[in-house]
């Protein structure tokens, strides 16, 4: 997956005046991917490929390390893409065109998910979003993002990803929410597409349940870190309880409907399960229990 991602970036349509550096930070105790990347670096005349090892585990630590390396080149912009994604060939070109026309500090592009042929459609798998380029957003994610370097430069906002979220996830959403609160304008960029091949393990109801529970818990944790426990209780206790009740009520209804109209009933049941997970995740987080899926590497 990493090799495919890097190849898609090295094969970009490059505007003549664009100077780009590709930074790959490996978050591991050993440089497992270094030899492969060093070999690939020899065949990229337009893009400088740099490798770094971040031995301290945690996604925000790796992201912060990448930004520190990027700042050494005094860039105008810094972009992020996940290692399990592939960029469309005009990804960089689309960004360059948009940045000259739309006044934004952060651009968020779409992710087009490629599912296995037998993935169950009723589970409610995420789809690519279509929005008008330039549409203002409240936050962003590092799956496909470009941001002005002033957000992280020491002479600018000097923002960093919150390393307290190293194993829970959600540090990218929290980062861009802070950036917006400090005046950064976040915009949608519909033309800069990346593709993600979704493994079969991530198309199950169990995986989606755990993800919804984790996302809900992350929102509570971010509020606790930034505003305290009382604010988190006021903000999330009522809505989490409502989601829990909604899930408990709709789940049996979905199963009953599935007897008559299987696809519609199972879709309703899937929605109920995710509501249940959201409510459960929020309430458990308010009790001090936070899922930490990134303490291990799942292979994807």
User: What is the CATH number for 6?
Assistant: 3.90.550.10
Give yes or no: residues 99 and 228 share one domain: no
Q: Which domain holds residue 98?
A: 2-200
Give yes or no: residues 92 and 188 share one domain: yes
pLDDT means over runs of 10, the chain (300 residues) = 94 90 94 93 86 95 97 97 96 96 97 95 90 96 97 96 95 96 98 95 93 96 96 98 98 96 95 98 97 81
Give yes or no: residues 172 and 222 share one domain: no
Give yes or no: residues 189 and 228 share one domain: no
pLDDT of residue 46: 83
pLDDT of residue 300: 61
Give yes or no: residues 19 and 53 share one domain: yes
Give yes or no: residues 236 and 87 share one domain: no
Q: Say whether pTM exceeds 0.85.
A: yes
Rounded Cα distance, 242 and 252, in Å: 17
Residues 44-51: contacts with CB under 8 Å, at least 24 apart:
44/10, 46/14, 46/20, 47/9, 47/10, 47/12, 47/14, 47/20, 47/21, 47/22, 48/20, 48/21, 48/22, 49/6, 49/10, 49/21, 49/22, 49/24, 50/21, 50/22, 50/23, 50/24, 51/24, 51/26
Rounded Cα distance, 208 and 200, in Å: 12
Phi-psi region of 178 (alpha: psi -120 to 50; beta: other; left: phi over 0): alpha
Token pair 């930490």 in the structure block, residue:
292
Domain boundary among 200, 224, 241: 200
Rounded Cα distance, 67 and 167, in Å: 19
Phi-psi region of 74 (alpha: psi -120 to 50; beta: other; left: phi over 0): left
Bridge partners (DSSP) of residue 24 are 51
Give yes or no: residues 249 and 195 share one domain: no
Question: Is residue 230 one of the residues assigned to a domain?
Answer: yes
Q: Give 208-256 pLDDT, tens digit per residue.
A: 999 999 999 999 999 999 999 999 999 999 999 999 999 999 999 999 9
pLDDT of residue 171: 96
Give yes or no: residues 147 and 127 share one domain: yes
Give yes or no: residues 17 and 141 share one domain: yes
Question: Is residue 59 one of the residues assigned to a domain?
Answer: yes
Give yes or no: residues 96 and 13 share one domain: yes
Domain boundary among 200, 223, 249: 200
pLDDT of residue 299: 67
Question: Is residue 300 one of the residues assigned to a domain?
Answer: no
Domain boundary among 200, 221, 250: 200
Give yes or no: residues 225 and 134 share one domain: no
Domain count for the chain: 2
Rounded Cα distance, 224 and 247, in Å: 25
CA angle 113, 279, 220 (to 5 degrees): 85
Distances (CA, A) of 154 to 76, 159, 246, 269, 290: 14, 8, 46, 49, 32
């Amino acid at each position: 997956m990493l090799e495919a991602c890097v190849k898609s970036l090295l094969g970009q349509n490059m505007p003549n005046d664009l100077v780009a550096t590709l930074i790959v930070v490996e978050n591991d105790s050993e440089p497992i991917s270094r030899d492969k990347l060093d070999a690939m670096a020899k065949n990229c005349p337009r893009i400088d490929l740099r490798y770094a090892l971040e031995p301290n585990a945690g996604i925000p630590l790796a992201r912060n390390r990448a930004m520190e390396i990027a700042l050494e080149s005094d860039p105008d912009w810094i972009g992020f893409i996940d290692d399990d994604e592939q960029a469309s060939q005009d990804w960089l070109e689309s960004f360059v065109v948009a940045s000259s026309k739309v006044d934004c500090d952060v651009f968020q592009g779409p992710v087009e998910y490629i599912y296995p042929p037998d993935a169950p459609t009723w589970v409610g798998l995420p789809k690519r979003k279509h929005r008008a380029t330039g549409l203002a957003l409240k936050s962003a994610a590092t799956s496909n993002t470009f941001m002005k370097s002033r957000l992280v430069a020491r002479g600018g906002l000097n923002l960093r990803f919150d390393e307290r979220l190293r194993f829970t996830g959600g540090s990218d959403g929290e980062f861009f929410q802070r950036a917006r609160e400090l005046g950064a304008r976040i915009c949608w960029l519909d033309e800069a597409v990346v593709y993600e091949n979704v493994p079969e393990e991530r198309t199950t109801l169990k995986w989606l349940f755990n993800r919804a529970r984790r996302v809900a818990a992350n929102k509570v944790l971010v509020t606790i870190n930034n505003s305290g426990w009382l604010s988190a209780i006021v903000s999330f206790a009522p809505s989490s309880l409502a989601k829990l009740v909604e899930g408990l009520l709709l789940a049996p209804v979905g199963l009953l409907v599935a007897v008559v109209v299987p696809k519609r009933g199972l879709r309703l049941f899937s929605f109920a399960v995710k509501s249940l997970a959201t409510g459960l995740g929020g309430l458990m987080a308010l009790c001090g229990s936070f899922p930490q899926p990134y303490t291990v590497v799942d292979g994807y």
